[in-house]
């Protein structure tokens, strides 16, 4: 019998050969071994910058204030910032008022005839806006309109044959692709930074599914373009996530598709019209979804229905879970405001809701969103007489006729005290319980009878009204 002995690298090579014969290697590994790696080297941005850089502009704004409004020592502080940190300052006397440099930002030209895009917060409150090109030409710009919700502003300068950027398609971007940002951080105009897209639709606001990247962005970059490797603008640099006030590795841009929709309206009318249904919604948790028979967490939970609004007129109720809007699935609650906001004013939409274990379609009119649409608060409830606590740890009482009228509800019970599991779930005195496991609550006797029959091993979903907001809370009975 011949016995072969292997030591060190010989033994390892033999084992690898044996494994290779038995276990097929992944395609990516085989491709790499064949000399075809998935990533090779780093991109060269030089030609790209030469082509797109001239269309990126520096934006300076001034505000006219009376001398009495200037704080003591402010002029000396502005001179200090100008000399040692490069922050523009100073004033020019004009008719008893002072022109104060109030900010520096970035922007980019989208058409040769002088239309410029930037952030709304860059030009907010400005009396004069100056746009400077890379060839040092400077123009006074007119603000055609600014939209705070999307943080987009459209400017116009009186010029022709200007360099402009090509508008891309932000719906086709991919996580991991290279992008660059050009702007004026700390007034250092036409500065270029590069990185990759980190996420495509980061939820940071009702109408802004922002592009997240690791491109370095600092004060002064606001309003500048985010550009892909084709030289197309795919977003407007808008925000950073930071604890220090400076760049911390995460920056956000408004997708160019949303930007251009806003810009078209600003160009036509100077303002943006958005649709509304008159509801307030929240996220559906995994526990609530399971308790209501939804399966996975999805949709938006209706916590408030505006009195007299389109949703109330159509029959949408507090506690409904909105699953679809015009056939488009609502995966997260933030999806709904964007879809409704983009709907034509006066149109009708089909809203699919989950109510008491069943799915139904409701036709809802789309009204125009107001600038400040704050719902009125319901009148505060008064404490009711004490009642014995039920197995949920809740002592409840019937609502008075006045409370029913103030809260605009038919049934429900008022929570006097919450202990045990109910307290741990966040319930408290003054809450109003409208439903238990999809069953409407009419009075305290019915509520306590239902609570006594609950399976102590199962969770229970309660529809709870607090002030003017209603949402599901999931608790477990005491064991």
List residues forming the annotated binding site: 121, 151, 220-222
- Residue 235 bridge partners (DSSP): 226, 255
**Range 356-372 burial, b when 16+ CB lie within 10 A, else e:** eeeeeebebbbbebeee
Q: For residue 21, count other CB atoms closer than 10 A to its CB.
A: 8
Confirm whether 151 is a catalytic residue: yes
b vs e for 53-79, b when ≥16 Cβ sit within 10 Å of the residue's Cβ?
ebbbbbbbbbebeeeeeeeeeebeebe
Catalytic-residue membership of 121:
yes
**Total residues belonging to the chain:** 479
SS3 193: strand
Binding-site residues for substrate, please?
A: 121, 151, 220-222
Give the Cα separation of 461 and 298 in Å (integer): 16
Which of 98, 151, 398, 431 is labelled catalytic? 151
Across 8-18, b (16+ Cβ under 10 Å) vs e yields eeeeeeeeeee
Q: Does the annotation mark 222 as catalytic?
A: yes
Residue 266, SS3 per DSSP: helix
Q: Which of 150, 213, 222, 343 is catalytic?
A: 222
Q: Which entry of 99, 121, 214, 443 is annotated as an active-site residue?
A: 121
Can you tell me the distance from the alpha carbon of 260 to that of 323, in angstroms, rounded to the nearest whole number?
28
Parallel, antiparallel, or unpaired: how do β-strands 275-276 and 251-255 relate?
unpaired
Calculate ∠ Cα 191-197-198, nearest 5°.
120
Under DSSP, the state recorded for 447 is H
Tokens standing for 345? Answer: 């004013």
Asked whether the CA dihedral 227, 232, 237, 240 is positive or negative, the reply is: negative
Q: Cα(254)–Cα(151) distance, rounded to whole angstroms?
A: 8
Catalytic (active-site) positions:
121, 151, 222
């Amino acid at each position: 019998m011949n016995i072969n002995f292997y030591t060190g690298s010989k033994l390892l090579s033999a084992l690898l050969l044996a494994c290779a014969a038995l276990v097929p290697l992944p395609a990516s590994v085989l491709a790499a071994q064949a000399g075809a790696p998935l990533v090779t080297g780093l991109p060269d941005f030089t030609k790209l910058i030469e082509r797109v850089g001239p269309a990126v502009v520096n934006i300076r704004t001034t505000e006219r204030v009376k001398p009495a409004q200037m704080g003591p020592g402010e002029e000396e502080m502005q001179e200090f910032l100008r000399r040692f940190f490069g922050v523009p300052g100073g004033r020019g006397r004009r008719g008893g008022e002072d022109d104060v440099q109030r900010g520096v930002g970035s922007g980019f030209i989208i058409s040769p005839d002088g239309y410029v895009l930037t952030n709304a917060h860059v030009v907010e409150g400005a009396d004069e806006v100056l746009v400077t090109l890379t060839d040092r030409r400077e123009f006074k710009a007119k603000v055609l309109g600014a939209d705070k919700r999307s943080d987009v502003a459209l400017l116009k300068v009186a010029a022709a044959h200007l360099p402009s950027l090509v508008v891309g398609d932000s719906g086709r971007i991919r996580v991991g692709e290279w992008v660059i940002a050009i702007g004026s951080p700390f007034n250092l105009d036409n500065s270029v930074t590069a990185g990759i897209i980190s996420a495509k639709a980061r939820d940071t606001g009702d109408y802004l599914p922002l592009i997240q990247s690791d491109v370095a962005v600092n004060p002064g970059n606001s309003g500048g373009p985010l550009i892909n490797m084709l030289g197309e603008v795919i977003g407007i640099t808008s925000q950073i996530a930071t604890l220090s006030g400076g760049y911390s590795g995460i920056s956000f841009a408004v997708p160019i598709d949303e930007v251009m929709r806003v810009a078209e309206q600003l160009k036509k009318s100077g303002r943006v019209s958005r649709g509304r249904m008159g509801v307030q919604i929240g996220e559906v948790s995994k526990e609530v979804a399971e308790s209501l028979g939804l399966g996975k967490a999805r949709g938006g939970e209706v916590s408030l229905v505006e009195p007299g609004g389109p949703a109330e007129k159509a029959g949408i109720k507090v506690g409904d879970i909105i699953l679809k809007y015009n056939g488009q699935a609502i995966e997260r609650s933030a999806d709904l405001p964007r879809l409704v906001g983009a709907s034509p004013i006066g149109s009708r939409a089909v809203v699919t809701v989950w109510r008491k274990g069943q799915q139904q379609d409701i036709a809802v009119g789309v009204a125009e969103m107001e600038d400040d649409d704050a719902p009125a608060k319901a009148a505060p409830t008064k404490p009711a007489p004490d009642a014995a606590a039920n197995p949920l740890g809740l002592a409840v009482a019937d609502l008075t006729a006045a409370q029913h009228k103030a809260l605009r509800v038919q049934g429900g019970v008022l929570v006097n005290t919450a202990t045990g599991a109910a307290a741990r779930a966040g319930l408290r005195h003054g809450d109003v319980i409208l439903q238990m496991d999809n069953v409407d609550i009419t009075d305290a006797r019915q509520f306590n009878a239902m609570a006594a029959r609950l399976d102590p091993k199962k969770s229970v979903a309660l529809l709870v009204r607090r002030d003017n907001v209603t949402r599901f809370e999931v608790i477990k009975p005491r064991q």
